[in-house]
Structure 1
Amino acid sequence: MKDSRIRILYIDDEVHNLNAFKASFRRSYEIYTANSAQEGKLLLKEIMVHIIIADQKMPVATGVDFFNEIKETLPDPIRILLTGYTDVEDIIDAINKGHIFSYIKKPWDENELHRTINNAYEIYRTRKQLKEKIEELEKTNDELNRFIYSTSHDLRSPLMSVLGIINLTRLDNSVVDPNNYVGMIESCILKLDGFIQKIIEYYRNSRLDVEYEKIDFNNLLNDCIIAFQPQDTSIQFQMNVDQAFDFKGDTFRISVILNNLISNAVKYQKPDESNPLVDLSVKVEPHKATIWIKDNGIGILSEHLNNIFKMFFRSKNNNKPGSGIGLYIVKEALNKIGGTINVESKYGEGTQFEITIPNRNEFDT
């Protein structure tokens, strides 16, 4: 069928070349011809072709100039250049500039051109199939993310209702619970809710646009300390902020990073530590902010340091509850804003994270 044939546009300012090409290949392919780059562009607005063949030496615009001009608006058709060039550097330059698949020396050999066209079409088909698969995967991934986000939101409502009921039973002493079953239920619910919140955090980080605004690190760290101090009132928080310059960054993602790291510093303290400590330091410079979060907790085994930012990785050297995605979210959030993170840890002595975040205030001036 005609629709299943390879469609080729051949551009050449010499009419006899156009006629010869059409006579040689019209039985095998669906051929369109143009005698100038301008005419070729007009044809391409009306016809979708698989392969474009252009002569290099044409008046007004060369074949390479033509390919270079259309490569952004028409990236799919495969480009073949006909050239009388024998200079290797000129040929390489032509291929690089025009994103050209191949070149054929004039006068062309019919068998060679047949092979080149068929190879070019195979590449066209493979690229198209790959593009379709990518689009299909992106759609599936998007739908899956939306489903997880929606489900996570829907799950939180009944969980909060159960927690509310537990609190009511404690207030009116309506339930006798000598074995603390209610407490165990509450603990499980809080653990599940924490995991759901991490999923929502992950989704928001992957979907929300990056937005930059002025950040006061004193306020930001104070908010974190207020949020986490009630979890373990024995922990001493030390804070040192050196912010001599304005800093502009993504508040949401920086908060996600700090919350996850400070949460870990609180959670992974040693049970027998007499002076549990979490040290928070920030130094703001014109081009970046550096944040250090240090604790004297249980630390991380050296063989685990290369894996802690992987999704669902959990160290086996502790029995603390965790989702295994907190540090993965930290890494993803930093990738979104162009930041970096390094970790130093000694098992049994504590851990220090060093985070570097670009100061977007510098880019706006």
Structure 2
Amino acid sequence: MNEEIKILYLDDEVNNLVAFKAYFRLDYQIFVAENTNEALKILEEHPDLRIIFTDQRMPDKLGTDFLDEIRVIYPLPVRILLTAYTDDLNTAIDAINKGNVYRYVKKPWSVEAISAVITDANRYYLTNSLLSVKNRELEQAYNELDKFAHSVSHDIRGPLAGIMAAAQLAQDISDLSEIGELLQIIVNSAEKLDRYILTIHDYYSVRRGEFNIMDIDLNTLADDLRVMYEAIANAKGIRFTITINNSDVFRSDEVSVKLVLNNLLSNAFKYQKKDYNYKYVHLEMGVERGVATFVVKDSGIGIPEKYLGEIFKLFFRATLLEAGSGLGLYNVKNILTKLGGQIIVNSVENVGTEFVVAIPTK
């Protein structure tokens, strides 16, 4: 039996229902109903029905009326009309032209005719389902693009405004010490722009989903991260430590893994409490039973509980204390989804945050 293909047959003649189920129950999952109320109940319980056959002349309602009504709530099932009356043919053809009905079959039907209709209807269902998925993906992409354009214009204008204002002030100042301060503003704004552009590059790399699977040595990865974050840790007075519990063979896309860790670590360094004497960022990693686990813990400002379910959404910012692109954690989530991984966040406001990442080896 092909359990994926569910078929509903609606007819007030019990003999037809029994015959239909007897002929096709071994090949498909068959549901039968004697009236439209029973049919609606079956649809509610099985919204993934692929094909609906209905007799035109039902005691409570015409088959075409029933199919027209359910099309709004259940647009995907393929609708087939059955009729034994020649004067119903014009109605059936009109329903087909309006898109309410895919095809009509004359009664009494034959097993061969119904089998051919099921094959065609299932092919039509699969095509429409794929089209529906693509339309949803297109709508999501359009919405993301709209948000992206708005966010980019907003986030780029901020640093640019800082650069322009500082440059204009510098034109009217002769004091070298004041000019030095303005130059520092320009440098800071330019660095912010550079970080934002790099984040956008990461965003599009994730969208393309191009992976290069290779062996990843955790010890080498740890050394690279120590070098990368040593300067910022010293400058901010943050104790940065890395421990490796188990270094079994781990295969994945190295660039993607580094993007994930760099996003989490950069946030851990960025969102520290200003006047706290025991600042730390700790990375713990290991590979066991084919799964690499990375835990990033910090003593930072934490994330308010009400935002924990929102932080992986596109352009979401949980804090205004530090400017961010709103792309970082969104990128992290997308990368992990494509790698078959998972991420869990635990955070207490004004205490710190812990991200736990699990990535299966390829």
Where does residue 61 of structure 2 map in the other structure? Answer: none
Match of 2:261 in 1: 258
Q: How big is the shift at 1:211?
A: 2.8
Structure 2 distance, partners of 1:284, 1:186, is: 41
2:207 corresponding residue in structure 1: 206
User: Do the aligned partners of residues 107 and 265 (structure 1) sit closer, same or farther apart at CA in structure 2, a change above 3 Å counting?
Assistant: closer
Q: Is the 8 A contact 1:286 1:359 kept in 2?
A: no
Once the two structures are TM-superposed, the CA of residue 301 in structure 1 deviates from its matched residue by 1.3
From the superposition, tell whether residues 232 and 240 of structure 1 become closer, same or farther in structure 2 (CA, over 3 Å).
closer
The CA deviation string for residues 303-360 of structure 1, in whole angstroms up to 9 with x for no partner, is 11111111221123x5112112211111111111111111111111111100111111
Distance in 1 between residues matched to 2:357 and 2:290, nearest whole Å: 14
- In the superposition, the TM-score normalised over structure 1's length comes to 0.59
Per the alignment, residue 299 of structure 2 pairs with 296
Provide the residue aligned with 2:21 in structure 1: 88
* 2:359 corresponding residue in structure 1: 357
Q: What's the offset of the Cα at 1:198?
A: 1.0
Deviations 1:244-278 (A, max 9, x none): 42111111211110000000011111122223211
| Residue 178 of structure 1 pairs with residue 181 of structure 2 | no
Greater shift in the superposed pair: 259-268 or 109-118: 109-118
Q: Does the CA-based 8 Å contact 1:95-1:101 persist in structure 2? A: no
Matches within 5 A, 1:19-34: none
> Is the alpha carbon distance of 1:340 and 1:113 closer, same or farther for their aligned partners in structure 2, counting shifts above 3 Å?
farther
Return the match for 2:289 from 275, 286, 294.
Answer: 286
Q: Using the alignment, how far apart are the partners of 1:351 and 1:135 within structure 2?
A: 34
Letter in 1 for 2:282: D
Match of 2:219 in 1: 218
Q: 1:260·1:327 contact (CA, 8 Å) conserved in 2?
A: yes
The answer to whether the 8 A contact 2:218-2:247 is kept is no
In the alignment, structure 1 residue 238 sits paired with structure 2 residue 189:
no
Aligned residues: 266
SS in 2 for 1:310: coil
- What percent of counterpart residues are identical? 32
Relative to structure 1, the CA distance from residue 258 to residue 118 in structure 2 (aligned partners, 3 Å threshold; closer, same or farther) is farther
Q: Which moved more, 1:97-106 or 1:244-253?
A: 97-106
Q: CA shift at 1:281, angstroms?
A: 0.7
1:184 Cα shift?
0.8
Match of 2:191 in 1: 190
Tell me how large the CA RMSD over aligned residues is.
4.6
1:45-64 correspondence runs (5 A): none
What is the distance in 2 between the residues matched to 1:106 and 1:304?
A: 54
Label 1:211 to 1:103 Cα distance change in 2 as closer, same or farther (>3 A): farther
Aligned residue for 2:300, secondary structure, equals coil
Unaligned runs of 5+ in 1: 1-63, 72-79, 167-173, 361-365
CA–CA distance in structure 2, aligned partners of residues 299 and 93 of structure 1: 58
The residue identity in structure 1 corresponding to 2:53 is S
Aligned to 1:249: 252
What is aligned with 1:102? Answer: 53
Alpha-carbon distance change, 244 to 128 in structure 1, aligned in 2, over 3 angstroms: closer
Q: What letter corresponds to residue 332 of structure 1 in structure 2?
A: N
- Measured in 1, the distance between the counterparts of 2:27 and 2:86 equals 22
